[in-house]
Structure 1
Amino acid sequence: MGMERYAGRVALVTGASSGIGAAIAQALLRRGLTVVGLARRVDRVKALELKDAPGKLYAIQGDVSNEDSILSAFKWIRENLSGVDILVNNAGLGNNYDLTTGKTEHWKRILDVNVLGLSICTREAVQDMLRRGVDDGFIIHINSLVGHRPPTYHNTAVYCASKHAVKVLLEGLRKDLVARNSKIRVGEVSPGAVRTEFLTNFPGIPANQYDLVPCLQSEDVAEAVLYMLSQNPRVQVHDVIIHPTGSSY
């Protein structure tokens, strides 16, 4: 039994308004899941609805860098959809402000979303699952290749550090759930360059940057998420690393 076990179940996808998050949301809708897309640009989430898909989409406006916003979203899900069975922590951002001249607000924004926001969403989802006795839930972090190696550029150190934190937090979560004798599974997908809107937060990066290097598409990352979810409950695929074919990075 693969993805069928999750048909009708509730999946929360953060950062669902575009790129990887949007592709994951639509892939889950096609598999019959009830998908809650959380993002600041809620109209773009609503536009992801697929009329021919068996799943149901709900769009919630929220900011992963704001704890009250996260708690409000989980409260709505509990009251209207019973609770979260799958969490995909996709929301993330980066910038290229270096360690010697960068402003605190730029670094803080990365950490608030990529580390603290991810951790708050994870805590709320796991507590909700445990409270309802859900023992086949899943937490998936969307990480990056940069979470597995030293920074390539001096001015991306804070972003890379945040993705290293995601890797460490995932392993800590796995051990936490094992200590609780829970069968909730966890995993992360770590792609290389993906052709999305991500680089708009990096001042000075040329608009054609994605044309200069091999890139993945958002759907490639979504397929990795489906692969992780479709494994037998005895199998926990912990990390899927995806290189664009031909990339030397």
Structure 2
Amino acid sequence: MDRWKDKVAIVTGASSGIGQSIAQALIKNGLKVVGLARRLEKMEEWKNEMKNEKGKFFPIQCDLTNEEDILKAFDWIKKELGGVNILVNNAGTSSIGMIIESSTESYKKIIDLNVIAPAICIRESVKIMRDNKTAGHIININSTKGKSTEKSTVFCNMYCPSKFALKAMTEVIEQELQHVESTIKITSVHPGLVKTDLVLKNVLERFPYVDVEDISEGVIYALSTPPHVQVKDVTITPVPGRLRQK
């Protein structure tokens, strides 16, 4: 990770959970991390915990379903920090219910945050990286439900389709980067069930899970590879049958 010291990383959905863990891991490795999330107060809370670490944290309030908010954040990053080296698309949402019984509004909410927002962030990051001739790295936090619909997907609504779309988008952008002869890397991270504030306690009692730190360690692994190595896909799941909470 030494080559990323003092470089700039953007992490979406950095106010809590996986995004917070990834942002903190990057700060500990000496990066300047810009957190984009709606809950500015949550980011400000944990920012103080990182004041003695090697890197710095810059929280920006941003509604990632609002393109104007995203573009303003990127303008600030270009002006104040000079560019971006790493983008971690982590922000996402889900909805309980069946597609055949849900509203159009619920469809759009999921697609806007899980698909459109990452596309905008990637587009803006790649523009800056190419202008600065930066060998950057894009990481999309996906889900095992973006690879298979075999388990527990009946009530996941548009979450699974959105994550399949994110997987396809990652693969297409990899081809696009190759087409324009860019050395920017792109990686998909597919977590299984992760213990976060959003997961109900009874779910954690019934199913094996991993911790947010397990996901951030996977991200650090992908970033730690040498310039000639691209980790295309990291899948992180709990050991089957290993319950951890009674």
Match of 1:202 in 2: none
Asked if 1:47 corresponds to 2:45, the answer is: yes
Contact 2:23 2:35 in 1 (8 A): yes
Letter in 1 for 2:3: R
Asked if 1:237 corresponds to 2:231, the answer is: yes
Match of 1:177 in 2: 177
Once the two structures are TM-superposed, the CA of residue 214 in structure 1 deviates from its matched residue by 0.7
Once the two structures are TM-superposed, the CA of residue 151 in structure 1 deviates from its matched residue by 5.2
In the alignment of these two chains, the number of paired residues is 239
2:225 and 2:157 map into 1 onto residues whose CA distance is 34
Match of 2:217 in 1: 223
* SS in structure 2 at match of 1:234: coil
Match of 1:203 in 2: none
In structure 1, runs of 5+ residues without a counterpart are 200-205
1:129-178 deviation digits (Å, cap 9, x = unpaired): 111121x1000000000011125332214110000011100010100000
**TM-score, with structure 1 as normaliser:** 0.93
Contact 1:141 1:189 in 2 (8 A): yes
Contact 1:97 1:103 in 2 (8 A): no
* Identity %, equivalent residues: 43
Match of 2:168 in 1: 168
Match of 2:198 in 1: 198
Aligned ranges 1:1-249 → 2 under 5 Å: 3-49=1-47, 50-134=50-134, 136-150=135-149, 152=151, 153-199=153-199, 207-247=201-241
1:18 and 1:151 map into 2 onto residues whose CA distance is 29
Alpha-carbon spacing, 1:142–1:96, altered in 2? closer, same or farther (3 Å): same
CA-based RMSD: 1.3
Contact 1:192 1:243 in 2 (8 A): yes
* SS in structure 2 at match of 1:100: helix
1:118 and 1:97 map into 2 onto residues whose CA distance is 24
Once the two structures are TM-superposed, the CA of residue 96 in structure 1 deviates from its matched residue by 1.5
Contact 1:7 1:31 in 2 (8 A): yes
**TM-score, with structure 2 as normaliser:** 0.94
Structure 1 moving runs of 4+ over 3 Å: none
* SS in structure 1 at match of 2:209: coil
Once the two structures are TM-superposed, the CA of residue 190 in structure 1 deviates from its matched residue by 0.3
2:198 and 2:190 map into 1 onto residues whose CA distance is 15
Contact 2:139 2:188 in 1 (8 A): yes
2:205 and 2:75 map into 1 onto residues whose CA distance is 42
Alpha-carbon spacing, 1:207–1:106, altered in 2? closer, same or farther (3 Å): farther
Once the two structures are TM-superposed, the CA of residue 220 in structure 1 deviates from its matched residue by 0.4
Contact 1:151 1:160 in 2 (8 A): no
Letter in 1 for 2:10: L
1:190-229 deviation digits (Å, cap 9, x = unpaired): 0100011334xxxxxx542222211110000000000000
Contact 2:8 2:81 in 1 (8 A): yes
2:194 and 2:137 map into 1 onto residues whose CA distance is 24
